[in-house]
Homo-oligomer: A and B are copies of this chain.
């Protein structure tokens, strides 16, 4: 019996409400001059108050030393083993722009790129053409007809698009055409398994046709495809936890992830204040709320320590709207760390606080990496967070007699 089966067997509904506040890229590293991390630098009295009344700890998204992408980072937070349920880049991208994927569809992430007369890639992003320009080119690509499949090409942003192949007996075990570098030709798509050979030929035919269609559209005169993938078959949050979940996010990818695990999706929000207001407006209708805040991660990815500090302070300032709702269980954590010092996702464990009547509080009074180290939860795997949230919401009965 795996963990999800165990949980499924003991989950029950209860009136209690759980809010999972995910501050993307939450954890950081100390600034060399001050010796303080982003969290330690920020004035965050409301988060500190949560640390004081809650139980704290550090969470490893996947395992010590492993840096997660956004997909695995979130799946782990929702309780799914992120190694068992890996999501391809194509699927993630497709779901993020509200494409409803069928179980058999193959999605890939596409880039418009520039090639020279010899077919050598000179710009992998086609000069970052405008989203409008890209949308027009996607329409041209969508007219390409390949026997045995329907092809849908949808613009994402700038040079990025998603292509979905729909048809019988398609397989995603394909190599990528994007060589991840300039100065070389696009790679040939190959089947990684025999069963995917026909799919490889279909994709190759599409790419060849695309090259013809785009010939006169320099700088976007070629495409690169990667992340061929099929939607993983995940049991939903309803099935496992008997929850009625709502996702509140600003960015597409996180809506896609939430949809994948069966969450209802709130109308789009633009700011974190919007997100908290949306939470308030929908508070009666659901019993689980995934609230995703992106800008900490963006600041970290940009290597901007000060901006990450500012975002943390903004979150803290807005937090009373959330806490005034008095959720029975409030979990605040991140899907991974994004230290400004590294300018990207990292492997460092993520601060975590769980507040509830029954959390068994510890002596931690600051919400920071170092303080959470001494917390009552210790250092846990991210997949343990959902069972803990459920337990604190009295939504799990006893295991065994």
Q: A6-B83, A358-B341, A358-B346 are in contact. Are A69 and B398 (CB under 8 A)?
A: yes
* A271 interface hit (Cβ, 8 Å): no
Query: For chain A residues 338-357, which have a beta carbon within 8 Å of chain B?
Result: 339, 341-342, 344-348
* A54 interface hit (Cβ, 8 Å): no
Q: Are A399 and B69 in contact (CB under 8 A)?
A: yes
Contacts of A86 in B (CB 8 A): 400
Contacts of A58 in B (CB 8 A): 378
* A72 interface hit (Cβ, 8 Å): yes
Q: Which of A69, A360, A370, A401 has the most CB of B within 10 A?
A: A401
Q: Of B10, B64, B87, B387, which one neighbours A401 at CB under 8 angstroms?
A: B87
Query: For chain A residues 66-91, which have a beta carbon within 8 Å of chain B?
Result: 66-73, 82-83, 86-89
Q: Are A347 and B30 in contact (CB under 8 A)?
A: no
Q: Are A391 and B67 in contact (CB under 8 A)?
A: yes
Q: Are B376 and A373 in contact (CB under 8 A)?
A: yes
* A113 interface hit (Cβ, 8 Å): no
By secondary structure, the A interface counts as loop
Find the B residue at minimum CB distance from A229: B401
Q: A358-B346, A374-B374 are in contact. Are A399 and B65 (CB under 8 A)?
A: no
Give complex CA distance A64, B352 in Å: 14
Q: Looking at the assembled complex, report how far the CB atom of A123 sits from the nearest CB atom of chain B, in whole angstroms.
A: 22
Q: Are B29 and A391 in contact (CB under 8 A)?
A: no
| Complex interface: stretch among A192-200, A281-289, A315-323, A361-369 | A361-369
Task: Digitize A371-401: 1 where CB-to-B-CB distance is under 8 Å, 0 elsewhere.
Answer: 0011011111000101111111000111111
Query: For chain A residues 159-199, which have a beta carbon within 8 Å of chain B?
Result: none
* A92 interface hit (Cβ, 8 Å): yes
Q: Are A373 and B384 in contact (CB under 8 A)?
A: no
Q: Looking at the assembled complex, report how far the CB atom of A388 sits from the nearest CB atom of chain B, in whole angstroms.
A: 4
Q: Are B388 and A64 in contact (CB under 8 A)?
A: yes
Contacts of A377 in B (CB 8 A): 64, 379
Find the B residue at minimum CB distance from A390: B65
Give complex CA distance A87, B401 in Å: 7
Contacts of A401 in B (CB 8 A): 69-71, 87-89, 92, 227
Q: Are B388 and A82 in contact (CB under 8 A)?
A: no
Q: Looking at the assembled complex, report how far the CB atom of A175 sits from the nearest CB atom of chain B, in whole angstroms.
A: 14
Q: Of B1, B370, B376, B400, which one neighbours A71 at CB under 8 angstroms?
A: B400
Q: A69-B398, A400-B86 are in contact. Are A348 and B374 (CB under 8 A)?
A: no
Q: A360-B30, A373-B376 are in contact. Are A396 and B66 (CB under 8 A)?
A: yes
Q: Are B64 and A399 in contact (CB under 8 A)?
A: no
Q: Are A400 and B30 in contact (CB under 8 A)?
A: no
Contacts of A392 in B (CB 8 A): 65
Give complex CA distance A65, B62 in Å: 18
Having A65-B384, A72-B400, one finds 12 other A-B pairs with CB under 8 Å, namely A10-B66, A10-B67, A64-B387, A67-B391, A67-B397, A72-B399, A82-B399, A87-B401, A88-B401, A342-B358, A373-B376, A378-B379
